Structure 1
Amino acid sequence: MPDELDELCARVLAEHGCASVSVAVAEGDEVVLARAYGFADVASRRPATPGTVYGLASVTKAFTATAVCLAADEGLLDLDAPASGAYGPTGPTPRQLLLHRGGFPAFYTFHYGAGPLPIEIERYRAPLREPGTEFEYSNTGYQELGRLLESATGRPLGDHLRERVAAPLGLSDFAFGAAYTGPAPVATRYSAGGRAYPTCRTGHPAATAGWATAADVALFARTASRLLKPSTLAAMNEAPAINEHTGYGYGRLVSHGPGPVVHSHGGGMGGIAAMMIDVPERELSLAVLTNSTDKAARDAVVRHLAGALLPGFRPTQLDTAAETPRTVTLPQGTWSGEITTPEGGLPLRLRLLSPTRLEVQLADAPPVTTAAAASDRWDLRATAALQLPTRDARLNSPHLGLELRLREDTLTGRAIAYKPGDQEGFLGSYLPHPCTLR
């Protein structure tokens, strides 16, 4: 398998324009394979090695979830106590936040300059639905978990993760923050077009700000359960279903259906594509880390490794898509209302031209025509190259997305300012706003 891996990784990096990939496999307490390919830094021709550290993006959520569960086991935090804050009469509980069922919408924000973060997470943390109801993958919820953990322990989150999770498991190169501050060499992050990313800060570090080698990620995946009480571990792995293939537990996806039960978490943001997989019944885990926004190289290596090591493995066991496409069934006609932004309401008019075409007019801008779609969660979905004219959206989120549900004679949901990828410039923020149309 190592010779096949060498050939595959060389080919995959070339095919997808990915700078480097680092791979590790752990069995029991031991890392049995650790290899790296390509360049950790292209400009200096510095090669990637098994000791190179990569950004983890959302794989960080698994570390944060483990720390939260450990604090609960130690009596420092109650998983079922509603969080305090501006959430209305009933705040989400840590357990609901761990499961991405705290009611918060999807959200991410990236800042590449100095000074205070220009986009405040508080402006986008209004709950989309009641806590404990539907699954909604949310960085906001995991940032709230980080806040709760810091309050419960009296320690900065990064210090707590290093001291209570990384150190007991022997993860010597793990670090937490906007930039890597540990002793190991670090992989430069690259856009899908090959531009080097500067330091990136987010409003949700508890969800995205981890750094580690592939070996440390594989070892964490295999051994983190040993930090927790059996009852907590069992609850972590219950994983209510989010689709027919997978459920989401506490910081990990858990596969459903035939084949080995696979625990996993992926990560992706500007210059990062990461994957962590653990198969408890086999006492085997693997990690694949790349320094490119494009996930194609990561996914090809994951498929090869998992296919070779896990008989019966199915790529759908890593599936996070919680929606099934369907045909738009709304009556043709015009819907009018507004998008609620931190700067006030913005008029929005939609005219459904057919089950597949939609005309969108934002404020006084000329109308544009775009594709209309729907899913099992949304009665109308659409995207358009329309700039939301707010200060936050103008920073680096030039497109508009719509996700709306029909309730009687009203469409409600959200309008999202975002940027589709980073082929031009760096990845932008994803900013959800409440939207109501009649």
Structure 2
Amino acid sequence: MGSRRHTWVRRLGAAWLAAAAVVGTAASSAAASAPTPTKSTAGPTPAELKRVDAHAEKQRERLRLPGMALAVVKDDEVVHRRTWGKDGDGKPITRQTPFLVGSLSKPITSTAVMRLAEAGSLRLDAPVRRYLPWFRPSGPSADRITLRNLLNQTSGLSERDGIAHADRFDNAPGGVERTARGLAGARTGAPPGERHEYSNANYMLLGAVVEKVTGQPFGDYLRKSVLRPFGMDGTLVDERDAERRELAPGHRYFFGHPKRFDPPYDASGVPYGYVGADIDDLSRFAVAHLGHGDAAARAVVSPAGLRELHKGTVPAGTSHRYGLGWRDDSFEGERVVWHGGATPGYHGTVVLAPERGLAVVVQDNAYSPQRDELLNATALGAMRILLGGRPAAASTDPMLDAMLTTVTVTAAVLALALLWSLFRIFRPSRGRPRGRRRIVVGAAVSVTGLLVLAVTAVYVLPRQVTVDLSEILLFVPDTGWLLVAIGVLATALAVTRGGLAVRACLAAPPLARTDPDAVRDRRQEARAGV
């Protein structure tokens, strides 16, 4: 998963703020030179590394991170390494502490695909259906989706497709293919190559392609053909690895505070998000993508292949383009290639400056989409320092901040209203009785509005932003549980208000006394002196 920027979470924020208002009213062209194994001369100075540490420590304090690891790579050497804090089991973070790397799995998967392409086992511009005959999506020109479209996220498959099939925690044999087969009849939203839409679905299918071409489980091929040649011997690709390496729980945020979270490992999600690695292994991955390492590492993908992986070809944001599993950007006038990633509980970022032979690797054992920009800013800011600049300003997502505040206030108001209504059940109002018609109309409006609010909170809003409530609970648990609370409180309040209305109707004067004809007759009788 992540760092996918979680656009569904931002849409949730916008949709909830709008819905709350309604219900409340009612109730780069930089040179893409190939990485080269020739060492450059200038490396980070002690003063620069000291500033990197200070920046990382400030970020850790601001984010309340329980644990973090950082490495700076120059050519084929880790020239600086720091660890801070503790893992989810309370053990100190060390060089050997594994973290899940989230969507950093995507450049690892794309490396495996490029290796197969250079070996002639597959063609990047061949249709996906050549390798997966069961993949029969509908939509404009969907039969022409190629492996390259999957790699650069221009297949037309939607973010929703990726979310709906992600995070299955499936560790049984065949999980990668099972997950991919869930996309067999997906509908695309645009012709292949027309636009970039980040989706885990693309890399689910790539995992199945690798298995079909190699005849091996995806994790096994990845371990033997990419990870071991890179020297990444401790990397996690299945449940046994996670148990052997004692992968600790990560952390999710509740109202700004990280809380321990211990879901199962998800071997079916390795192609797009569930690789695990320690800081040393992820540093070796960075070394390999700078074009360095030993002969075995350099033999995995050629310099030309690395260049093709890194080169951005489609716009993917305000400042960068997306390549084959990498983001192609520039800082301080220098070209950088980077990617971030997250799972529920973990986050990581790798930033390369290929022309400088520099890389920064940062891993965190806490994650929230609300803090995605801030988390990426640790590694991105460190690279800016090494390139002679200063870290760019970063913050939590203001829309998500506003959403959390809004749902918190909504839940609190509903709770107070429910308490007041329950109080009224035991201490009825002694005021002047109202007419039944007024009671019925008022209760109908109130109950309808509350039921609409309940359904909106737990079903409509999640569906409007491409997810269901379970995904929100997984990644944004504070907001998710508040939405559940709103649904429960609004339903309970509707039932209570309905009960109060029934009791009030029973105590009200008969409708005949307030019937217009009866009132007219009584007035006529009074005038006649009867």
For normalisation by structure 1, the TM-score amounts to 0.69
Question: Which of 297, 306, 309 is the matching residue for 1:236?
Answer: 309
- Could you tell me which amino acid in structure 1 is paired with residue 225 of structure 2? R
Gaps of 5+ in 2: 1-46, 130-134, 292-297, 395-448, 482-530
The 1-side partners of 2:222 and 2:480 are apart by 29
- Could you tell me which amino acid in structure 1 is paired with residue 376 of structure 2? D
C-alpha displacement of 1:182:
7.2
Alignment correspondent of 2:361 = 287
Question: Which of 442, 464, 477 is the matching residue for 1:401?
Answer: 464
Q: List aligned pairs for 1:176-255, cutoff 5 A.
A: 176-177=237-238, 180-181=241-242, 184-193=245-254, 194-201=259-266, 204-224=269-289, 225=291, 226=298, 227-240=300-313, 241-255=315-329
The 2-side partners of 1:272 and 1:3 are apart by 25
RMSD between superposed Cα atoms in Å: 3.5
Alignment correspondent of 1:86 = 136
The 2-side partners of 1:139 and 1:186 are apart by 23
Alignment correspondent of 1:306 = 383
C-alpha displacement of 1:265:
0.6
Alignment correspondent of 1:142 = 203
Equivalent pair of 2:171/2:268 in contact (CA under 8 Å): no
The 1-side partners of 2:332 and 2:249 are apart by 39
Equivalent pair of 2:171/2:239 in contact (CA under 8 Å): no
Alignment correspondent of 1:153 = 214
- Could you tell me which amino acid in structure 2 is paired with residue 110 of structure 1? D
3-state SS of the aligned residue for 2:97?
coil
The 1-side partners of 2:352 and 2:331 are apart by 16
Equivalent pair of 2:100/2:343 in contact (CA under 8 Å): no
Question: Which of 276, 280, 286 is the matching residue for 2:350?
Answer: 276
Moved more, 117-126 or 228-237: 117-126
Equivalent pair of 1:215/1:287 in contact (CA under 8 Å): no
C-alpha displacement of 1:169:
1.4
In structure 2, do the counterparts of structure 1 residues 70 and 104 end up closer, same or farther at CA, with 3 Å as the change threshold?
same
- Could you tell me which amino acid in structure 2 is paired with residue 32 of structure 1? V
In structure 2, do the counterparts of structure 1 residues 113 and 184 end up closer, same or farther at CA, with 3 Å as the change threshold?
closer
3-state SS of the aligned residue for 1:255?
strand
Alignment correspondent of 1:76 = 121
The 1-side partners of 2:191 and 2:269 are apart by 21
3-state SS of the aligned residue for 2:306?
helix
C-alpha displacement of 1:255:
0.8
3-state SS of the aligned residue for 2:94?
coil
The 1-side partners of 2:91 and 2:148 are apart by 43
3-state SS of the aligned residue for 2:321?
strand
The 1-side partners of 2:392 and 2:143 are apart by 38
Alignment correspondent of 1:104 = 157
1:63 pairs with 2:108: yes
Alignment correspondent of 1:34 = 81
What is the CA deviation profile of residues 51-82 of structure 1, one whole-angstrom value per residue up to 9, with x for unaligned ones?
21100010000100000000000011111110
Alignment correspondent of 1:261 = 335
Question: Which of 459, 484, 500 is the matching residue for 1:387?
Answer: 459
C-alpha displacement of 1:253:
0.5
Gaps of 5+ in 1: 318-363, 370-383, 389-397, 403-414, 428-438
What is the CA deviation profile of residues 163-202 of structure 1, one whole-angstrom value per residue up to 9, with x for unaligned ones?
1111111112112135743754534211113132221437
The 2-side partners of 1:16 and 1:263 are apart by 24
| Structure with the bigger percentage of strand | 1
C-alpha displacement of 1:223:
1.2
In structure 2, do the counterparts of structure 1 residues 179 and 312 end up closer, same or farther at CA, with 3 Å as the change threshold?
farther
3-state SS of the aligned residue for 1:122?
coil
In structure 2, do the counterparts of structure 1 residues 189 and 123 end up closer, same or farther at CA, with 3 Å as the change threshold?
farther
Moved more, 63-72 or 296-305: 296-305
C-alpha displacement of 1:293:
1.4
What is the CA deviation profile of residues 76-108 of structure 1, one whole-angstrom value per residue up to 9, with x for unaligned ones?
111111011212461411111111011111122
C-alpha displacement of 1:235:
2.6
Equivalent pair of 2:219/2:238 in contact (CA under 8 Å): yes
3-state SS of the aligned residue for 2:276?
strand
The 1-side partners of 2:287 and 2:202 are apart by 25
In structure 2, do the counterparts of structure 1 residues 3 and 285 end up closer, same or farther at CA, with 3 Å as the change threshold?
closer
C-alpha displacement of 1:233:
3.0
In structure 2, do the counterparts of structure 1 residues 7 and 281 end up closer, same or farther at CA, with 3 Å as the change threshold?
closer
Higher RCO, 1 or 2 (CA under 8 Å, sep at least 6)? Answer: 2
The 2-side partners of 1:132 and 1:287 are apart by 31
Equivalent pair of 2:359/2:383 in contact (CA under 8 Å): no
The alignment-based identity, stated in percent, is: 24
1:13 pairs with 2:63: no
The 1-side partners of 2:171 and 2:74 are apart by 42
In structure 2, do the counterparts of structure 1 residues 313 and 134 end up closer, same or farther at CA, with 3 Å as the change threshold?
farther
3-state SS of the aligned residue for 2:366?
coil
Moved more, 220-229 or 205-214: 220-229
Equivalent pair of 1:60/1:206 in contact (CA under 8 Å): yes
C-alpha displacement of 1:313:
7.0
Equivalent pair of 1:171/1:216 in contact (CA under 8 Å): yes
For normalisation by structure 2, the TM-score amounts to 0.58
The 2-side partners of 1:308 and 1:198 are apart by 36
The 2-side partners of 1:178 and 1:134 are apart by 36
Higher radius of gyration, 1 or 2: 2
The 2-side partners of 1:179 and 1:22 are apart by 24
C-alpha displacement of 1:269:
2.1
In structure 2, do the counterparts of structure 1 residues 114 and 64 end up closer, same or farther at CA, with 3 Å as the change threshold?
closer
1:53 pairs with 2:98: yes
Alignment correspondent of 1:377 = none
- Could you tell me which amino acid in structure 1 is paired with residue 75 of structure 2? G
- Could you tell me which amino acid in structure 1 is paired with residue 476 of structure 2? D
